[in-house]
Amino acid sequence: MSTFDPDALECLAAIVEEGGFERAAVRLSITQSAVSQRLRTLEIQVGTVLIVRSRPLKATSAGRLLLKHAMQMRLLRADLERDLQDLAPSASSGVGGDEERVSIAINADSIATWALPALSDLARQGLMMEIITDDQDFTHDWLREGQVLGCVTTLKQALRSCKVVPLGAMNYVAVAQPAYAATHFPDGLTPHNFRTVPFIAFNRKDDMQAEFIARACALKRVGLNQLHVPSSEGQVRAVLAGWGASVVPELLVREHLKSQRLVNIAPGHVLPIELYWHCWNLESAVLDALTQALMLAAGQTLDARPTSLKAA
């Protein structure tokens, strides 16, 4: 089996992660021509193209395999760093560069509620992390593409060479600002009053609003007038400002509901969305620590009940 130059592998990873050769060169503190040369040397060694020069740049199938290998090399270095720190605290500063960074993908709603507290101890211990955010139905794609070593997602089926751990369900509720609700939802959410009201979604991939309304109102299809705010906290702020209604994690608006800054416009309904942690099936102290931290926090925060629209 060929032995690949670690610097060339990191160069490939930087090109994909930074989205271009120029930004990769800045990150690696080398010239753009050196980036091109390292990639070219790697492509000659593999015997195929690794990057499609499109907008945005994309890794080929072979490129994704080598990208995954680069991530595994990072994980090995992170494990070594952790082991050295345990054996001799003075032997390692706990601070590394991009080549020691461990990347994971977590859905925005989890980041806004329970996931960051789950990872706080590891961050304080010096684990170099990059958290990539996406819609919960799409974080899985980052793992499939080999760009992260683990992800929190709604998908249950494990990828090849990966393991999956159920975390529990995050409960979603429909909310609005009180004066807005009194005007537009005097009788609460019904099949007849949601069509002309703006609903604030995370982005174009977010189908949470439509799924909640379809189930709550017993409808097969739902067409919505949607505004897009690509931040979980931003969605809540938009609702507080009277932009419209939104379906958001109950964890995120619990205090607003208690203080009556927001009201539940469908108080008889909660939509639980089950979450799963997927990661590479490797022996790794870092992976084990990430898995245990997320499982512990999820067990304390998320709902263990099955996914279905249920009474609140």
Over residues 164-188, the pLDDT tens digits come to 999 999 999 999 999 999 999 999 9
pLDDT band of 114, cuts 50, 70, 90? very high
Longest dimension (CA), the chain: 69
Provide the 3-class DSSP secondary structure of residue 279: strand
Residue 278: partners with Cβ closer than 8 Å, 6 or more residues away: 140, 143, 150, 151, 153, 155, 158, 159, 162, 163, 164, 165
pLDDT at 296: 96
pLDDT at 90 over 70: no
Angstrom distance (rounded) from CA 188 to CA 176: 10
Q: pLDDT tens digits for 239-284?
A: 999 999 999 999 999 999 999 999 999 998 999 999 999 998 888 8
Q: pLDDT tens digits for 211-247?
A: 999 999 999 888 888 999 999 999 999 999 999 999 9
Residue 295: partners with Cβ closer than 8 Å, 6 or more residues away: 165, 167, 277
With vertex at residue 65, the alpha carbon angle to CA 203 and CA 139, rounded to the nearest 5 degrees, is: 20
Pick from 51, 72, 73, 75: which is nearest to 62 by CA? 51
pLDDT band of 93, cuts 50, 70, 90? very low
Identity at 187, one-letter amino acid code: D
**62-88: b or e for each residue (b if 16 or more CB lie within 10 Å)?**
bbbebbbebbbbbbebbbebbeebeee
- The answer to whether 1-88 and 170-273 have equal CATH topology is no
pLDDT band of 312, cuts 50, 70, 90? very low
Angstrom distance (rounded) from CA 206 to CA 190: 21
DSSP class of residue 240 equals: H
Question: Structure pTM?
Answer: 0.76
User: DSSP for 20-47?
Assistant: SHHHHHHHHTS-HHHHHHHHHHHHHHHT
pLDDT at 226: 93
What's the whole-number average pLDDT of the chain? 88
Phi, psi at 185, each rounded to 5°: -130, 55
Phi, psi at 118, each rounded to 5°: -60, -35
> What CATH topology corresponds to 1-88?
Arc Repressor Mutant, subunit A (1.10.10)
Q: pLDDT tens digits for 24-56?
A: 999 888 999 999 999 999 988 888 889 888 777
pLDDT band of 153, cuts 50, 70, 90? very high
pLDDT at 94 over 60: no
Per-domain boundaries in the chain: 1-88, 170-273
Mean pLDDT value of segment 52-81: 84
> What CATH topology corresponds to 170-273?
D-Maltodextrin-Binding Protein; domain 2 (3.40.190)
Angstrom distance (rounded) from CA 200 to CA 209: 8
Two tokens at 239?
A: 């609702």
pLDDT band of 95, cuts 50, 70, 90? very low
Mean pLDDT value of segment 105-133: 93
